Amino acid sequence: QIQDLTFLIKNYCLTELYLNNNELTDISGALKHLSALQILFLHNNQLKKLGKTVKELKGMISLETLNLFHNPLAQDPDYRLYVIYSLPSVQLLDRKSVTQRERESAFHLYNRERSCVVQSIAFGKRVNTPLGTTVGSSRCTQPARRLMMPSVWKHSDNAHLLCSFCRVPFENPEDAVFLRAMTRSLMEFSSVDWNKVATCQERRLENKVEEPHETLTVQFR
């Protein structure tokens, strides 16, 4: 039935802390000094404010295992992704491993501008709107911009083909950039070890058959 954590104020070297099954309603100012903490159990309490709770844990750079389930704050629709984004060191959240897919989703949801830059790279211009569908979030209220297609494409069943061959201008130039970022293009880079390639003079003097070049080719979107 613990309700107050002021007794922990002089503990700095704790690596494990089990506070589950108590009556905690707020941990603000009580745990942020525990930078060495690796395991923290806070499940089955009465913690209600997700933002304040996560803020208290942000200084725990070594925290790997965290339990917050069976608290009112766990009912927040963005609860898990918000914790994953805010506490990147956590590997096991509520007895469930944090996946790479969840980290990517959290990054896209809570750092849209950076995510947008990453996804629109190599198109010559930043896209200032999030790619893909908008994910509903109480902490991320930026609306997705509506893509305004050229009128000649609107009723075409082959708009994706027209995109490649038709140069009809968009009503908004930003939409052209956005569409290119959505459809992507395949980039290919090749490299050759020129130290193994004979020069013109070497070919003339040695008069021998040149070995095939070793070429490394990488493709990505």
- Report H helices in 78-141: 79-86, 100-110, 112-119
Number of Cβ within 10 Å of residue 207's Cβ equals 7
Return d(Cα 157, Cα 185) in angstroms, integer. Answer: 21
Kindly report the CATH number that applies to the domain delimited by 6-112. Answer: 3.80.10.10
pTM of the predicted model over 0.75: no
- CA Rg, the chain, in Å? 27
Every domain of the chain with CATH number 3.80.10.10 lies at: 6-112
Q: pLDDT grade, residue 149 (50/70/90)? A: low
pLDDT, tens digit, 9 for 90 and up, residues 71-109: 999 998 889 999 999 999 999 999 999 999 898 888 888
